[in-house]
Amino acid sequence: MRSANYRLRAHCLILLVFAAALIPQAGCSDSTAPGVQPEITNVVDNFQFQTSYVRVASGDWTYTWQNTGTVANVNQSCSISSGIGTLTISDADGAQVYSRSLSDNGTFVTAAGAAGNWTIRVTLSRVTADALNFRVQKST
């Protein structure tokens, strides 16, 4: 009797493992992460964010970027079909110098801020997009 009980438990455990493998995990499914992992270039005075095939992604991604200047140029080139995406940039003192929808494509300029470590924040709410691309560079 005991042997049958152990076998039944073993079979149930195996079924649970297979069922868990079929359930999307937080941070791994297209519903919580921007499709594939974004490709990031983060060097002094130049930051780039790029990802493709985003499907119903939500979340916040925050990066620290060193800007030796007081102003930056922002080039946005996104193809969003649904949802809301926002790019927000704060200067080294924490003052917000830029906030714009990622649906707005073009080249923009931040407000003047303190040089040093700036914060770049990407916020997505149920975004579906063929591409999310932007670049932030020190303005000369």
Domains, in order of start, for the chain: 27-138 (2.60.120)
pLDDT of residue 17: 42
Find the helix or strand (DSSP H, E) in which 12 lies: helix 2-22
What pLDDT was estimated at residue 7? 62
Give the model confidence (pLDDT) of 57-78 as tens digits.
899 999 999 999 999 999 999 9
Query: In this structure, are residues 121 and 60 in contact, taking their beta carbons and an 8 Å threshold?
Result: yes
pLDDT of residue 8: 59
SS3 16: helix
User: Which residues in the chain land under pLDDT 50?
Assistant: 15-34
Q: Which pLDDT score is estimated for 80?
A: 95
- Amino acid (1-letter code) at residue 72: A
